[in-house]
Amino acid sequence: MKPLDALLDLLFPPRCVFCRKRLGTQGICPECEARLPRCGAVRSGGEFFSAAAAPLYYEGAVRAAVLRYKFKNRRGYAKTFSHLMASCAGEELAGQFDLIAWVPVSRRRLRKRGFDQSELLARGVAEQLGMELTPALRKRRHTGANSALEGREARAANVLGAFEARGPGLVRGRRVLLVDDIYTTGATLSECARVLLMAGAEDVVCLTLACARRVNKKEK
């Protein structure tokens, strides 16, 4: 272990990302591992993507951990989260993609937060799967948080035209795994998938860390 890592462990002992119990290494304690709200396949198809999956439901300790990750600068959680996501992708979406991209935040949000939470997750997933990570999208304008809006129509209107493809040929003829943190209505994922398809992607499948309980594999 590097001296700096050892000092950080002494000052900030590794804890379970969900219940905050002290651990020997950063990750998930056995109790949380056993009772996490597991999800899996979310939808067999969407408006512009062909499938979506998430390892967890967005509730209880999962929701609290995601909020700490995004708003309390717990970016170290990304390693544990991306491991769960990579396992889910292998189980639910295997063979359906050949590059990985992510839903980017706006420059304003990046300056305020200091990191792009979905990019960190996508990098971890790509590392776990040994696959290519491509910065395929850019957020061209800042939007208010979709979480503050009710209903899919309002959320879809909020993000319409907010994203653009970064460059010609990045996704042309490729099958894209699009990574984000939370699936609530699928409005943001659908808009990003639409842009990727217009840029020439052959297909888009989606992977998030967590999914709202009301969005499930029975929804068509």
**What is the CA angle 71-73-75, rounded to 5?**
115
> Average pLDDT over the chain, rounded to whole?
87
pLDDT at 215: 67
In the predicted model, is pLDDT for residue 129 greater than 70?
yes
In the predicted model, is pLDDT for residue 214 greater than 80?
no
Mean pLDDT of 49-63: 96
Share of the chain above pLDDT 70, in %: 85
In the predicted model, is pLDDT for residue 53 greater than 60?
yes
Nearest to 204 by CA among 167, 179, 169: 179
Quote the CA–CA distance of 22 and 75 in Å, as a whole number. 18
Share of the chain above pLDDT 90, in %: 69
- Per-residue pLDDT of 2-13, as tens digits, reads 554 444 343 456
Nearest to 50 by CA among 211, 215, 203, 214: 203
The one-letter code for the residue type at 113 is R
Quote the CA–CA distance of 131 and 62 in Å, as a whole number. 27
Quote the CA–CA distance of 139 and 135 in Å, as a whole number. 11
Walk me through the domains of the chain, giving residue ranges and CATH numbers.
38-56+77-211 (3.40.50)
Q: Are 18 and 65 in contact (CB under 8 A)?
A: yes
In the predicted model, is pLDDT for residue 96 greater than 50?
yes
Q: Kindly indicate the confidence band of residue 142, based on its pLDDT and cuts at 50, 70 and 90.
A: confident
User: How many Cβ atoms sit within 10 Å of the Cβ of residue 32?
Assistant: 18
pLDDT at 147: 66
pLDDT at 24: 63
Quote the CA–CA distance of 45 and 131 in Å, as a whole number. 23
Coil, helix or strand at residue 121 = helix
Give the least confident one: 30-44, 78-92, 196-210.
30-44
Q: What is the DSSP string of 145-214?
A: -GGGS-SHHHHHHHHTT-EEESSTTSSTT-EEEEEEEEESSSHHHHHHHHHHHHTT-SEEEEEEEEE-TT
Q: Which residue has the higher pLDDT, 99 or 167?
A: 99
In the predicted model, is pLDDT for residue 46 greater than 80?
no
pLDDT at 81: 97
Token pair of 58, please? Answer: 């967005």
In the predicted model, is pLDDT for residue 178 greater than 80?
yes
Mean pLDDT of 174-201: 95
Write the CA distances from 94 to 47, 57, 86, integer angstroms.
21, 21, 10
